[in-house]
Amino acid sequence: DIVVTGVRASIVGALNVRKASTQIVDSIVSEDVGKLPDNNVVEALQRVTGVQVTDRTGGEAAGISIRGLPDALTTLNGRNIFTAAGQSFALQDIPANLVKRIDVYKTRAAEQIETGIAGQIDVFTRRPFDFEGFAISGFARGIYNEQADTYNPNVSALVSDRWTTGIGDVGILVNASYSRTKYRDMAVTAGAQVPFADAAPAAGTGLAPYQRIFPAATDPLTGAYIRGLAAGEWQPGTDRGLADAAGSTMLVNGIPTPYLLSRDAVFSSDLRGKRERPSANIALQWAPNSSSTYTAEVFYSGFRGSTFNSLQFSFVDFWVPPPTAVQLYDGTNIVRARDAFNVFGFQSGDYASNKTDGFV
């Protein structure tokens, strides 16, 4: 038979796994070394029906759930593996270049390892007897991140060979991978939308032009309202909202008072991060005869990460001097733009780094 390896052979291999299993199982198979288009195992699994990926930060998915359940058992070549952080392996730290096949079991069977109510994810690495003889492969890719303004390298190499000796077939495989990702996430978030007095509040309200109107509050000793709003007129966090139609009023000291709705603050963040993942797999196999095979292998997965987050807070709810150039959305009392003064702001930053090494 003539078989053209590549996408077609990979699909056939995945279908054969499903045919041979008595359980509900899906597989991702890569017949050619380095041909999985994804960066890591988590990204590859998002192609499987019933698998959802979560925790997308820094342009990368890190979490997995099967049919909505997060408790999935992770195994490597059929062996249970875990880390100090939990009973599941960090699948996002396994590069796709080191993977031969991924099986996703959506049901549990008695012969499988216990735990994992959601199912089981079994990751298979390559071994020397997967090849007919000598094999060598290299892979290099660079991805440009526009926000971070940098190229992120992703390289891997595989060398494998097998020999027929007087004690049987012997094979050795070395597979290594390295990836680096620099990313940048920027965000601007508006603060809460709160009421302000209009340009000419009534004298009996005690409000200055464009002064912020605070919610009703009571004196803990006397029970009397210590702010001008009537009882129950507006309380943040309740289902009693404020009307946003033009000319809407609220009672302040018993006086129907027109108000405007505007944001009280602006928050901005600039997160810069870097991830490095060195990984390697070494496998030795010996087949003294056609009915037995012995395998010794070491799998290493590392992670180096650092982040710096710069935060800036600007509070624009002060009313002295009053804001100018106040513009409203048509037909509403919602402020579209205004020039604020005496803006109070502060900046902060935090740096974090972490390092993990996993050996199997």
pLDDT value at residue 145: 86
Strands 119-125 and 99-105: antiparallel
Q: H helices of the chain, where?
A: 7-20, 41-45
pLDDT one digit per residue (tens) for the chain, 360 residues: 333 344 444 455 555 655 556 566 777 777 654 566 677 788 778 778 888 887 777 777 777 888 888 878 888 888 887 766 666 677 888 888 888 888 888 877 766 777 777 888 888 999 999 999 999 988 888 888 888 888 999 899 999 999 999 999 999 999 999 999 999 999 999 998 889 999 998 888 888 899 888 776 655 566 555 555 554 456 555 556 788 899 988 888 778 889 999 999 999 999 999 999 999 999 999 999 989 999 999 999 999 999 999 999 999 888 888 888 999 999 999 999 999 888 888 999 999 999 988 888
pLDDT in tens, 316-342: 888 888 888 999 999 999 999 999 888
Phi and psi at residue 273, to the nearest 5°? -145, 160
pLDDT, tens digit (0-9, with 9 covering 90-100), for 281-301: 999 999 999 899 999 999 999
Going from the C-alpha of 80 to that of each of 88, 274, 296, the distances in angstroms are: 9, 30, 16
Q: How far apart are alpha carbons 27 and 104 in whole angstroms?
A: 6
d(CA 259, CA 280): 65
What per-residue confidence (pLDDT) applies to 231?
47
- Sole residue written with tokens 């987050």: 309
**Amino acid residing at 112:** Q
What is the pLDDT at residue 296? 95
Position 18 scores a pLDDT of 56
Contacts of residues 68-73 at CB distance under 8 Å and 24 or more positions apart, as own/partner, are 69/117, 69/118, 69/119, 70/118, 71/115, 71/116, 71/117, 71/118, 72/116, 72/118, 72/119, 72/120, 72/121, 73/112, 73/113, 73/115, 73/116, 73/119, 73/120, 73/121
Other residues' Cβ atoms within 10 Å of the Cβ of residue 47: 14
Structure pTM? Answer: 0.72
Which residue segments constitute the domains of the chain, with CATH numbers given? 1-125 (2.170.130.10), 192-263+316-353 (no CATH)
What per-residue confidence (pLDDT) applies to 334? Answer: 94
